[in-house]
Amino acid sequence: MYLHQKSRLLLTNYKYSHQLFNQIQHSLLSQQTQQFSSLLGINEHNNYYCEKMSDLKLNFLEVYTVLKSELLNDLDFEFTDDARQWVERMLDYNVPGGKLNRGLSVIDSYNFLKEGKELTSEEVFQASSLGWCIEWLQAYFLVLDDIMDGSHTRRGQPCWFRLPKVGMIAANDGILLRNHIPRILKNHFRGKPYYVDLLELFNEVEFQTASGQMIDLITTLVGEKDLSKYSLSIHRRIVQYKTAYYSFYLPVACALLMAGENLDNHVNVKNILIEMGIYFQVQDDYLDCFADPEVLGKIGTDIQDFKCSWLVVKALEHCNEEQKKLLHENYGKDDPACVAKVKALYNYLKLEDVYLEYEKKTYEKLINSIEAQPSKAVQAVLKSFLAKIYKRQK
């Protein structure tokens, strides 16, 4: 705890030097390497990946350890040993196991907004802390989403609620994850002029995401498979609220606030990021059907799962009555023959070409919107996001 306490004191009171903070970070890294390796599934047989991991990601994981330690030693709750062990296990299982793209994007975006100026250790820590708040939010959504969907696996391992002795305790764990976010913000941003803006931002994005989840759930009620409910406008609403706000807008909004910007002055930036998030999900829908599973890293199941996919919506737009009948009879059935019929229809309707035309027009529209932004730094942020997803294969 001593090192964690020192890190926190440095960042909240600014009493220690830049050099001392770097020494503390180095000590934390050497002490926590084994833990990071465990979290990332790295061992002596594949430590090549550990050696190749970027300094940015390692530093980001260091901050996770500091934040977790603070939460596990929160003076506002008298932890028993069992409670502390439960929360630590729950956090390690659910928070750092993904790609961490959303969290790392806060640091990337803030870097661009600083226009080449080297970030201080304090800035790196604060941007990382905001990034981890987004990863905490993601974990909260996923834990509850898996319960609602009755899912079995997440990130290649059993869903948290599927583990022995967890079950519906996972619902309370989800609530805990959400409540950790304002505690992290209070610990590290209470003295900042944008502190209230951060609280409001996370509340607003959570509301948008939960509303999108609600639209998704009531559109695809179990036992009520009705393709007539699916339309491009419904697909857009689900994606906009359920995915785009927290995956694309939130990281950039956090960076803008850190840079002293007023979010009300960047409504166009929000709109561009929402459009980018919708494009990203359309890509996902396309790849689920048309990508090579070995490249994608999984076998797509949108057809079997009766997903409100962009492909099925576009198919419905282009179908004649006989083809619609085929879709209604085969979409949403976990039967290889039914899946094959749907894919054959997609090919007949040339949906791959429809997607490629959509991608071309969307990219051109996004580039034009980005280059219309007056700030070159903001342009750089947006172009960086677009470059990461344009023409992706997985």
- pTM of the entire predicted model: 0.85
Alpha carbon distances (Å) from 390 to 149, 215, 352? 30, 27, 16
pLDDT digits (tens, 9 = 90+) for 100-119: 999 999 999 999 999 989 99
CA–CA dist 354, 290 (Å, integer): 13
Q: What phi and psi values does residue 79 have, to the nearest 5 degrees?
A: -70, 135
Confidence of residue 53 (pLDDT cuts 50, 70, 90): very low
Helix ranges restricted to H, the chain: 2-13, 18-39, 48-52, 55-72, 81-94, 101-113, 121-149, 169-189, 195-219, 232-239, 250-258, 267-290, 293-296, 310-318, 321-330, 336-348, 351-371, 376-389
pLDDT at 243 over 60: yes
* Burial readout 60-96 (b: 16 or more C-beta within 10 A, e: otherwise): bbbbbbbbbbbbbeeeeeebeeeeeebbeebbebbbb
DSSP string, 122-141: HHHHHHHHHHHHHHHHHHHH
Distance CA 62, CA 30 (A): 10
Residues 6+ apart with CB under 8 A from 140: 174, 175, 177, 178
β 153-154/157-158 pair status:
antiparallel
- The rounded mean pLDDT for the chain is 87
Q: What pLDDT shows up at residue 223?
A: 62
Give the per-residue pLDDT at 303. Answer: 94
Residue 179: band (very low, low, confident or very high) from pLDDT cuts 50, 70, 90: very high
For position 50, what pLDDT does the model report?
Answer: 44
pLDDT given at position 18: 35
Q: Based on C-alpha coordinates, what's the Rg of the chain?
A: 22
**Quick one: three-class SS letters along 139-200?**
HHHHHHHHHHHCCCEECCEECHHHCCCCCCHHHHHHHHHHHHHHHHHHHHHCCCCCHHHHHH
Residue whose C-alpha is closest to residue 183's, from 259, 57, 84, 72: 72
